[in-house]
Amino acid sequence: MTKKFFITGTDTNIGKTTISGILLKKASNYGYKTAGYKPISSGVKKYKNIASNIIQNKYQFINEDAYILQKNSSVFLTYKEINPISFIENAPPNILNLINKKKIEKKNLSLGLKKIAIKSNWILIEGAGGWHTPISNKYTFSDWVKEEKLKVILIIGIKLGCINHAILTEKSILSDNLICSGWIANNIFPSNKYTSYYIQTLLDYIKSPLLGIVPYLKNTNEIKINKIKIKLPE
């Protein structure tokens, strides 16, 4: 049976993609055929001299998150399989959907997931922003996750305000009768004298298991996987 996990976070820019890459590598080391899936992305970056086995030349302007997921997947997937819906601008999906007159259908997100599940047995699906990020004027990412009955991994960026955001996010996930497979604390700043207090408070309030604590990573392109202590979710 294919394992599928949805990665969400307490905010945007708190390291969901970096940690997704780490988890994909760790799962691959355990023998899984891993794949990352970024159904909707916003914001692109120009990449030069990308290897042909990673991405096709016509996709030189690509989303960085989708590229990282593709690079860290153990099975070969085209860029379009990894990221079927992409916007050039960097803004919430529902706003870009309206401006660009693109109709995002939940069934298309599900179709992309089914195609990837044919090739892999361990999939990480990365959302956008937080748990209730709207993807249209009718539904949010969490509505789709609920329909697919996906297990959820919560990434908590350790900073002021994260405790409240984490508690509210987990409560919402559990109220939707979904399984939160665990949470990961990500130190997004080089130093924070309150980190240990944040972690302990989160342990007191968050019901889901702690999968790991990621230290501040100065250079995410040179991550030593064996030195990052994260448990694979069940």
Query: Residue 87 corresponds to which tokens in the numbers above?
Result: 């916007």
Residues with Cβ within 8 Å of 116's Cβ and at least 6 positions away in sequence, in order, are 35, 37, 77, 81, 123
State the greatest distance between any 2 C-alpha atoms of the chain, in Å, as a whole number. Answer: 49
Query: Residue 183 corresponds to which tokens in the numbers above?
Result: 């949470």
Nearest to 181 by CA among 122, 225, 227: 122
Tell me, rounded to whole angstroms, the distance of Cα 48 from its chain centroid.
Answer: 24
Q: Which entry of 3, 4, 38, 159 is annotated as an active-site residue?
A: 38
Beta-carbon count within 10 A of 146 CB: 15
Binding-site residue positions for ATP: 13-18, 65, 126-129, 186-187, 215-217, 221
Backbone angles phi, psi at 187, to 5 degrees: -80, 95
Q: Is 38 a catalytic residue?
A: yes
Question: So which residues are the catalytic ones?
Answer: 38
